[in-house]
Structure 1
Amino acid sequence: MSRSKEGWQPWPLCQFILKIHSRCDLRCDYCYVYEMADQSWKEQPRRVSKDVIAHTAFRIAEHAHAHGMPSVHLILHGGEPLLAGADHIAHTVRAVRQALGPGVRLDVSLQTNGMRLDETYLKLFDDLGIRVGVSMDGGADDHDRHRRRPDGSGSHATVSAALDLLTERYFHLYGGLLCTVDLDNDPLTTYEALLASGPPRIDFLLPHGNWAEPPPGLPAEDGATPYADWLIPIFDRWYGAAHRETEVRLFADILHLLMGGTSSSETLGLGPARMVVIEADGGIQQSDTLKSAYPGAPVTGFHVARDTFDAVLRHPAVMTRQLGAETLAKECRDCPVLSVCGGGLYAHRYDPDNGFGNRSVYCADLFRLIDHIRGEVQRDVATLLEGRR
C-alpha cells in the first residue's frame, strides 16, 4: 500500500491477464487450470466475446486514466490463446489500444504452447507489437513426458519448429521460454536444451502445489531441498558464465532483491500484487494460480460489465496481497531472507486449516537457493574489495 494524506491507498493495477480462450490443444498432466482443484474452466465460454472485450478495454482505460498511468501491460492467455484465432486477437488488442488512447502505452504479450504458432500469427504479432513467450520443458524426451497432445503423442517437434520460425524471422518478438521444473530431468541438460533457441529470458516455474496437495518430491525428508538442488547448478553455470547466456528471471529477481531492488513477478519479494485476471466470461479474478488450491479460490465476484478495477482493489483478498510482510505467517516475518522470499508464491502457502497464512510449501528450497545466491554475491564482493586494497 502507498501512503497519502488520506491514509493508506492501494497501488493501482498495471498488469491485466485476459483469458482470451478457455480451452487448450495440449493435455499437460501438471496443468493447474485443467488438472488441479478448480475445474471452473468447464463452465467458461470457449472464447471471450466481443462484448466482454469491449467492457475489458473500457475498464482498463478507466483505471489507467484515473491513476495517471503512463503504460499498462495486457497479457493474452488461456487455455491456449491462439485457439481464439488471428482476427479475434487483433480485435482485442486494437480495442484496448483505442480505449486507452495515445496518452497511455499498451504493452502486449502472449503466452503460447507453440502448437499453432505460424507465419500468419507472427506477421500479425509483428504488426501489433505483441511479444511472444513459449512454453518448453527442455529436450524432446523431457518435454514430451508431460506436454502431450490429447492423443498422448508428444508436442516437442511442433514447438521446436515454431521456435525456429520465431527466432529466424521474428526474433524481436521473442519474449522467452517458460519451463516447468521436473526433478526427473537433468538440470544442466534442460538448461542447455532451452538455450538452443537463444531465448532472451527463461522462466523456471516451480510446479504448483500446496500443503494439502504437495508438488512432486515434497515434503522432503531430513531437510532435503530437491528443487534448490535442481536449480543451483543452473545458477552456478549462469552466474559464472563469461558472457551472460540469457536472463533467468528467478535468479535475476533474487539478485535484484538482495541488492535492495524489486521483483518482476509475484513469485518473490514483498512488493504489492498489481495483477488481475479477466476470465473468458468477463469475471474478474485474482491470480489464476490460486486454482491449484481449492475450487473458487481466485474468485472475487466482480465482472467487467459492472465493476471498476478500483472496486477490485478494495476486495479483502486483493488488499491482503498489497500489505506486504504484515499478512505473512510469523515464521516468515522472523526469517532472515524475508525481504527476498516474501513468503513465496501466494498459491503455494495454502492448507485447508489455515488458508494462505502459512509459509510456502517450497520454504526450505527457497531458503537454500536464496542463501546460496547470497553467498556467491558476498564472495564476489569480498574478492572485489580485496583486489582494491
Structure 2
Amino acid sequence: MAPRPDPGIRPPVPFGQFIVKVHGRCNLACRYCYLYEGPDRTWRARPAAAAPAVLDRTADRIAEHAAAHGLHNVALVLHGGEPLLAGADRLAALSDRVRARVSDACTVHTTVQTNATLLTDARVATLARHGIRVGVSLDGGLVSHNTLRTDHAGRPSWPAASRGARLLADRYPDAYAGILTVVDPRTDPVEMYESLLGLRPPALDLLLPHGNWTNPPPGVPDAGTPGAGPGPARPTPYGDWLSVVFDRWWQAGRRETRVRLFEECLALLLGLPAATESLGLDPVDAIVVETDGTIEQVDSLKSAYDAAAATGLDVFRHSFDDALRHPGVVARQSGAGALAAACRSCPLLTVCGGGHYAHRYRAGSGFANPSVYCADLDRFVRHVAGRLAAATAGAPR
C-alpha cells in the first residue's frame, strides 16, 4: 500500500520570479543600504558584472524551469546593485534571450529596478522598445527625503533621480512600473505620500526597512525578545505611519495610484488571494541569480547575517528545481507550519502571515519568531480592517 502524503507538507511551488543580478555594484553609496553596509559580505568576492556565459546559462535555466512546470507567466527582474551600469542594450539582450527560449505559451514580464540616476531618453527608449518596464527606488518625492542617497563622492542623487522619474512619467508612461519607497516614520506620512504622487507613479511599493530582533529597525531601538504577540505597551511607529497614509489613500475618492501593500491587505481581509513577501501565507516563488551564476535566496535575507541567502548552487551545475529542494526555500514555502507558535495562534494569521521572513530573525533562534514588526503589523492590519468594516456596513449581501 502506498504511503499517504503528509497533509502538513505541500508540494513545492515553482519559481515564477527570477531576479538576475546583471551588475553587482552600485553608483550610489546610500548610508543605510542593507546590501552593501549590512552584515553580508558575499558581494565583495563576486564579479562586478555578470559575464555573457552567466546570462546565457541563466536564460536556459529559466526556460527549462518554465517548461518543466508548464508556466504561462514568468517575471524577469533585472537587478543589482544598479543594473543600468551594465548598459540598456545588455539588459534588452537578456530579456530577448529569455523570451526566445521559453515556449510560445509562456509570457515573460521584464522589469528593471533602478535608482533612476542613469535613466536617459535613449536608455529608456531602448528598454521600452524591448518591452522592459522600469521600477524606480526613491526615499521620497522631495530632495529632503533623499539626503542619504548620495554617490560615492557624497554628491546628492536627487537631481538625476528625479529627472529620471519625470522622464518616465512624461515620455514613457507605459514603461513606468512605479516607485519603491522604504518607510521612514520620521517623515510626515501625508507629505511623503503626496510628494511621491507628484512623480505620477502608476504604483507604489511601501516597504518596511529590513531589521530584525538582533538588529532592530530605525525607530525601534530596543526590540526586546520575541514574545507572545504585539503587547499593549509596544510603540508602533511604522504601523501608525502606514495607517495615516492608508487613510489618505482610502479617502481620496479615486485611485490616484496603486499601493500594493494596501491593496493586498484589503484582498487578504476579504479572503482573496494576494502575493507579497510582507503579508499573507502564500509561498515565496522568487529566486536570485548572482553575477557569478550563483543561485541564492532573496536579498532581504542578507540583512540577517553573512551568507544567509546562500544555497551552494549555481546555474552551471544545478537547475532551479534543485533550488526548490533547498531547505531554506522549503522553509519559505511551508506556510503557517514554519511560523512561531504565537503567530499560528494569532487571529490575524491569514492576513499578516507572520510578516516578512527576514524580519523574524534573531541570533540563536533563527527565523522561528514573530516579526520584529509584530506590533506595527497588528496596528496596521486592524486599522485597515476597521476602515473596510465601516465601508461595507449595510452593504447588500
Judge conservation of contact 1:283–1:302 (CA < 8 Å) in 2: yes
Q: Deviations over 1:172-231 (max 9, x none)?
A: 011100111112211111101100021111111111111110001114693110001111
Determine the structure 2 residue equivalent to 1:103. 105
Determine the structure 1 residue equivalent to 2:118. 116
- Partners of 1:73 and 1:4 in 2: CA distance: 31
Judge conservation of contact 2:361–2:368 (CA < 8 Å) in 1: yes
Judge conservation of contact 1:143–1:156 (CA < 8 Å) in 2: no
Residue identity opposite 2:81 in structure 1: G
Matches within 5 A, 1:120-135: 120-135=122-137
SS at match of 2:265: helix
Shift of 1:383: 4.2
Matches within 5 A, 1:284-363: 284-363=295-374
Residue identity opposite 2:387 in structure 1: E
Matched, 1:253 2:295: no
Q: Deviations over 1:304-359 (max 9, x none)?
A: 00101111111111111111101100000011111011111100000111000000
Residue identity opposite 2:265 in structure 1: I
- Partners of 1:349 and 1:205 in 2: CA distance: 15
Determine the structure 2 residue equivalent to 1:89. 91
SS at match of 1:64: helix
Unaligned runs of 5+ in 1: none
Determine the structure 2 residue equivalent to 1:19. 21
- Partners of 1:142 and 1:268 in 2: CA distance: 30
- Partners of 2:185 and 2:12 in 1: CA distance: 39
Shift of 1:4: 11
Matches within 5 A, 1:142-221: 142-218=144-220, 219=222
> Quick one: which of 362, 376, 391 aligns to 1:380?
391
- Partners of 1:308 and 1:154 in 2: CA distance: 42
Shift of 1:261: 1.6
Residue identity opposite 2:244 in structure 1: P
- Partners of 1:131 and 1:321 in 2: CA distance: 28
Judge conservation of contact 1:24–1:80 (CA < 8 Å) in 2: yes
Shift of 1:139: 3.6
SS at match of 2:36: coil
Residue identity opposite 1:356 in structure 2: F
What is the percent sequence identity of the aligned residues? 48
Shift of 1:141: 3.8
- Partners of 1:4 and 1:207 in 2: CA distance: 36
Between 177-186 and 207-216, report the one with greater CA deviation: 177-186
Q: Deviations over 1:232-288 (max 9, x none)?
A: 111001011111111111111100111112223211110011110001110001111
Q: Deviations over 1:339-386 (max 9, x none)?
A: 01111110000011100000000000001100000011111111435x
Matches within 5 A, 1:47-66: 47-66=49-68
Aligned residues: CA RMSD:
1.7
Determine the structure 1 residue equivalent to 2:230. none
Between 232-241 and 86-95, report the one with greater CA deviation: 86-95
- Partners of 2:19 and 2:205 in 1: CA distance: 17
SS at match of 2:81: coil
Q: Describe the shift of the 1:337–1:121 C-alpha distance in structure 2 as closer, same or farther (beyond 3 A).
A: same
Q: Describe the shift of the 1:383–1:154 C-alpha distance in structure 2 as closer, same or farther (beyond 3 A).
A: farther
Residue identity opposite 2:202 in structure 1: P
Determine the structure 1 residue equivalent to 2:46. 44
Determine the structure 1 residue equivalent to 2:237. 226
Shift of 1:8: 4.2
Determine the structure 2 residue equivalent to 1:274. 285
- Partners of 1:247 and 1:8 in 2: CA distance: 32
SS at match of 1:331: helix
Between 340-349 and 134-143, report the one with greater CA deviation: 134-143
Q: Deviations over 1:90-146 (max 9, x none)?
A: 221122112114231111011100010111111111111111110122243433222
- Partners of 1:88 and 1:198 in 2: CA distance: 28
Judge conservation of contact 1:142–1:185 (CA < 8 Å) in 2: no
Name the TM-score, length of structure 1 as normaliser: 0.95
Between 140-149 and 349-358, report the one with greater CA deviation: 140-149
Judge conservation of contact 2:89–2:126 (CA < 8 Å) in 1: no
Determine the structure 2 residue equivalent to 1:10. 12
Judge conservation of contact 1:20–1:81 (CA < 8 Å) in 2: yes
Determine the structure 2 residue equivalent to 1:75. 77
- Partners of 2:223 and 2:240 in 1: CA distance: 12
Q: Describe the shift of the 1:18–1:43 C-alpha distance in structure 2 as closer, same or farther (beyond 3 A).
A: same
Residue identity opposite 1:208 in structure 2: H
Judge conservation of contact 2:141–2:198 (CA < 8 Å) in 1: no
Name the TM-score, length of structure 2 as normaliser: 0.93
Residue identity opposite 1:135 in structure 2: S
